[in-house]
Amino acid sequence: MIPRPDVVDYFSTTVHENNEWSPQARRHEARQQGSETVPQRDILVIIPTYNEAENVETAIQRVLAVLPDVDIMIVDDGSPDGTGEIVRRISANDDRVSLMERTGKRGLGPAYLDGFAHGMASGHTLLIEMDADGSHPASALPAMLAAIRSADSVGGVIGSRWVTGGAVVDWPKSRRLISRGGSTYARVMLGLKVRDVTAGFRVYKASALQAIELETVQSQGYCFQIDMTRRMAANGFGLVEVPITFKDRVAGTSKMSKAIVVEAMLRVTIWGFERLVGKERGRRESRDAKRVVEQPSAVSYEKHEGWS
Ligand SMILES: Nc1nc2c(ncn2[C@@H]2O[C@H](COP(=O)(O)OP(=O)(O)O)[C@@H](O)[C@H]2O)c(=O)[nH]1
Ligand SMILES: [Mg+2]
């Protein structure tokens, strides 16, 4: 990969238009060097799909209308409704759009992991997660990108429904309850500050993803988002929440299932107890250490015993 200087604003594709480190220049240099993974643009938008034939084209158009200089990769799990065919047709005429085809429905988590792996291998520095069904407003992307560029300490940005200014439109009460309740449960159990823990509209720095051991992620459904949130926090990366208005899908059907909710509940409960046990162990160890410090004579006596 081509080394880049430590400029903070290296995400901007316009500022560095005439600079040797512009994405265009990097692409050119990589091609000249015969690199197999020619970086296209700095940002990769990853959209997982399963039976989104009615939505996928609009989703792509909406992103490109707001951010014309990004790559978009649709990760499709062999949708029987022909989603993949539609994407193949679009990508034939637009080099910003690509299709990753997987065989059989294998879950949202693994789809994102494959997307991340591809994005990082191809030199993208920012990776965006977004649904295909129109629930995530592309219009929020500039604010989300500004947030991720705002500080080196920020590893990810979440398009959030549950912060001030955020909203959910048209969702039945039951879905609201599951989402809000799940978020609150995960936040409390895992000691997180993030309000919308299960949100699927996110931007990550590739450098942060590289640091959080993605190869050990096993979560399949929405639990994947919770898992990512706790890993980012545990590794000291800042997560910024940008308020969004989330709209229910107008076409196609949700892939939300009971199994997905159960997976999230179970994993969060296990992680929560692991965290509590770890905390208790830490407390006990520091209490024991304190006791040793408070009883210097006992310590020196024991030491003395050992020496003689
Ligand atoms: N590749 C892939 N995409 C999926 C899978 N399950 C859901 N998706 C996609 O993930 C996004 C979110 O799913 P959706 O059904 O809208 O969930 P909801 O918004 O919580 O009801 C959509 O773009 C789906 O097409 C899967 O198993 N594989
Ligand atoms: Mg949806």
> Tens digit of pLDDT for each residue in 54-72?
999 999 999 999 999 999 9
- Report the nearest atom of ligand 1 relative to the CA of 131: 23
- Report the nearest atom of ligand 1 relative to the CA of 59: 23
Dist. CA 86–CA 305, nearest whole Å: 79
Establish if 31 belongs to a structural domain. no
Per-residue model confidence (pLDDT) at position 17: 31
Residue 37 scores a pLDDT above 60 = no
Range 141-156 burial, b when 16+ CB lie within 10 A, else e: beebbebbbeeeebbb
Number of structural domains in the chain: 1
55 lines ligand 1 (CB under 6 A): no
Per-residue model confidence (pLDDT) at position 242: 98
Establish if 19 belongs to a structural domain. no
Residue 173 scores a pLDDT above 50 = yes
Residue 306 scores a pLDDT above 50 = no
Establish if 150 belongs to a structural domain. yes
Q: At what angle do helices 83-93 and 56-66 cross, to 10 degrees?
A: 40
Over range 188-205, report the average pLDDT: 97
Q: Which of 273-277, 284-288, 299-303 has the lowest mean pLDDT?
A: 299-303
Residue 13 scores a pLDDT above 70 = no
Establish if 176 belongs to a structural domain. yes
Q: Of 255, 256, 258, 261, which is best to mutate to test ligand 1, by the most ligand atoms within 8 angstroms of its C-beta? A: 255
Residue 247 scores a pLDDT above 90 = yes
Establish if 8 belongs to a structural domain. no
Establish if 181 belongs to a structural domain. yes
75 lines ligand 1 (CB under 6 A): yes
pLDDT digit string, tens, across residues 135-161:
999 999 999 999 999 999 999 999 999
What domain range is 80 assigned to? Answer: 40-254
Q: Of 50, 169, 174, 178, which is best to mutate to test ligand 1, by the most ligand atoms within 8 angstroms of its C-beta? A: 50
Establish if 250 belongs to a structural domain. yes
Structure-model confidence comparison of residues 4 and 216, the more confident one: 216
CATH number for position 134: 3.90.550.10
Burial grade of 17 (CB within 10 A; 0-12, 13-18, 19 or more): exposed
| pLDDT, averaged across the chain | 86
Residue 52 scores a pLDDT above 80 = yes
**Residue 294 token pair:** 């408070």
150 lines ligand 1 (CB under 6 A): no
**Residue 4 token pair:** 């880049």
**Residue 11 token pair:** 């995400």
Establish if 219 belongs to a structural domain. yes
Q: Which of 22-36, 73-87, 207-221, 234-248 has the lowest mean pLDDT?
A: 22-36
Query: Among 197, 178, 177, 174, which Cα is nearest to 187's?
Result: 197
